[in-house]
Amino acid sequence: MGVIPWASWYALRRYSAYPLGSMAEAVTNSFFGVVRAAILLALWHARPGLGGYDATDAVTFSFLTQSLIGPVQIFGGMELAQRIRSGDVAIDLHRPVDLQAWWLADDVGRAMSTLVLRGLPPMVVGALLFTVRLPDPGEAAAFAVSVGLAVLLSFALRYLVTLAMFWLHDERGVQAVTLVLSLFFSGMIIPLVAFPETLGDVARALPWSGLIQVPADVFLGHRTGGALLSGLAFQAAWAAGLLVAGRLLTRAATRRLEAQGG
Amino acid sequence: MVSGTVDGAGASSRAVRAVSTYCLLAWTWIRAAAQYPVSIALLALGTMVTAGLDIIGILVLFSRAPRIAGFTSSEVLLLYGTSALSFATSDILLGTTERLGEHVREGTLDALLVRPVSPLIQIATEDFSPRRFGRLVPPALVLALALPGLPIAWTPGRVAMVPVMVVSGVVIFGGLWVLCAALQFVLLNSQGATKAITYGGAFLTQYPMTLFARDFVRGVTFVVPLAFVNWAPALYVLGRPDPLGLPGWTRFASPVVGAALCAVAAVAWRTGLRHYRSTGS
């Protein structure tokens, strides 16, 4: 198996090293969950059954989005960016491990840590303050697979953005633009089911819907049978395509790299 | 009498010096940021659009229902515009104070303390970047478009109230930034949680309080005075009854609430700084 599982394991331990900090983040996530739930409740009060969701689905969705912020790192960013900026990436490239695989392993560890530390509290708060819909064991298993694919997809997207560092020497601009896309088209701001028809169809075809909307639909039991498979296939296809793009771009980027200093 | 005048002059010259130091340091950071022009342009655009996302969110909501919690879209856009304009301004001026805990952890606060400039100014101007001005654009545009569309009779009092609420909002959010930063002297990891007050407060105040449960509204009125950012004065502008049934003068209390909050924040900051002990190793 080699070193990759260890990279994940150590990332998991590193990101779990400050549980208080993560729990503090979870407080904010839960607070936003409460505010968003109140907003969506008012909308579903005015439009019962909008987009096939009922009020309970809408409330659950609000807390789910907050739970998934950490694992799919919806706000973007990756530690690799600082290493490219400082030139430390030259050391990473000298390692006998593939750059992309190494950082994917790191990201999987990070995602698992935040799923527990930042993912659970908002759902607990939601369940205490509102009526939320909890999945049956089958839906829960499907949800676990969907979240796993969402983490892969999120990594694939952020890795591409990070590689822009090699050309622009500052990734924050590209990141700011992709942040908008990921917040809006993932369903983070407003669930995609509440979008007007055409906009909703466009949003559902874009990769970002695989980060939040698809896992949430699976959790809420709105994707079963064929729809479940097509949802998971959608996430997997985007993840695979973007990971391959990342590989090709890595090759181009390493040819460009000039590490300075001595 | 004489010493009073001298003190007064001393205080005002200190204030002038603080402002000019702030501007000088901010300008230094702007010049540093200008080294990456492509990034600056994209960042300003990105910040602007990210800030605009909240508007899109509101518009998508109202494309599905004409009224939400009894409020129309132009009324909610008034709340959004005033809240976002206040918050963005306070964020430009003081937002980076949330990094205090980072400075304490890394020991870099010590370096700030030996310089002959207030550490608050140094942290507040850190990474000052022109991109942040992008955030002012969406709320300013929304206010310009939404204000004329409001179905109310504009009296001089209502007209005057709009700038007053924006400025009071800046002061209240500014007090909250410093208060949350001061808390990090005691609770190093609290930044993650106090974001609920700053960013959460900014988000919350974009919507009418009629959305929320009564006890929640009491909390954001009496404990963390977010309701005074724009809700209380907006009730006056829109001529609406207060769902909590508070007396009429509370609609004009925002400037006083802001001043009181800043006094509390100043005391908290000084206390925190006085009790700061460097990270030993």
DSSP A170: -
User: Does a structural domain hold residue A262?
Assistant: no
pLDDT tens per residue across span B153-174: 999 999 999 999 999 999 999 9
Task: Report the mean per-residue pLDDT for chain B.
Answer: 90
Name which of B232, B207, B177, B257 is nearest B77 in CA terms.
B207
User: Does a structural domain hold residue B205?
Assistant: yes
Task: Report the mean per-residue pLDDT for chain A.
Answer: 91
Considering only CB atoms, which chain A residues are within 8 Å of B106?
A: none
A202 touches chain B (CB under 8 A): no
pLDDT tier at A262 (50, 70, 90 boundaries)? very low
pLDDT tier at A260 (50, 70, 90 boundaries)? low
Neighbours of A23 (CB within 10 A): 15
User: Does a structural domain hold residue B281?
Assistant: no
| B235 CA: distance to closest CA in chain A (Å) | 19
Name which of B166, B193, B143 is nearest B258 in CA terms.
B166
pLDDT tens per residue across span B116-147: 999 999 999 998 888 888 889 999 999 999 99
Considering only CB atoms, which chain A residues are within 8 Å of B65?
A: 43, 46-47
pLDDT tens per residue across span B64-75: 999 999 999 999
Best of B35, B43, B76, B133 to disrupt the A interface (most A CBs within 10 Å) is: B43
Q: Confirm if A137 and A37 have CB atoms less than 8 A apart.
A: no
pLDDT for res A94: 85
Two tokens at B219?
A: 């909390």
User: Does a structural domain hold residue B226?
Assistant: yes
B145 touches chain A (CB under 8 A): no
Q: How far, in Å, CA of A41 to CA of A55, rounded?
A: 6
pLDDT tens per residue across span A181-218: 899 999 999 999 999 989 999 999 999 999 999 999 99
Domain of B152, in residue numbers: 2-274
Range with lowest mean pLDDT among A52-66, A83-97, B34-48, B85-99: B34-48
B5 touches chain A (CB under 8 A): no
pLDDT tens per residue across span B229-281: 999 999 999 999 999 999 999 999 999 999 999 999 999 999 999 989 887 65
pLDDT for res B2: 44
List the single residue in A30, A39, A177 with the smallest CB-CB distance to B46: A177
B204 touches chain A (CB under 8 A): yes
Q: How far, in Å, CA of B33 to CA of A34, rounded?
A: 37
Domain of A191, in residue numbers: 4-256
User: Does the pLDDT of residue B6 top 70, yes or no?
Assistant: no
User: Does a structural domain hold residue A261?
Assistant: no
B80 touches chain A (CB under 8 A): no
User: Does the pLDDT of residue A242 top 70, yes or no?
Assistant: yes
| B278 CA: distance to closest CA in chain A (Å) | 20
Total domains present in chain B? 1
What is the 3-state secondary structure of B35-101? Answer: CCHHHHHHHHHHHHHHHHHHHHHHHHHHHHCCCECCECHHHHHHHHHHHHHHHHHHHHHHHHHHHHH
Angle between helices A99-114 and A4-15 (to 10 degrees): 40
User: Does the pLDDT of residue A82 top 80, yes or no?
Assistant: yes
Note the Cα B122 to chain centre separation in Å: 18
Best of B64, B99, B223 to disrupt the A interface (most A CBs within 10 Å) is: B64
Total domains present in chain A? 1
User: Does a structural domain hold residue B280?
Assistant: no
DSSP A211: T
Mean pLDDT of A5-15: 93
Q: How far is residue B179 from each of residues A115, B129, B171, B194, measured CA to CA in Å?
A: 30, 23, 12, 10
List the single residue in A175, A180, A190 with the smallest CB-CB distance to B49: A180
Mean pLDDT of B197-208: 95
User: Does a structural domain hold residue B229?
Assistant: yes
Q: Which residue of A has its CA nearest to B55?
A: A189
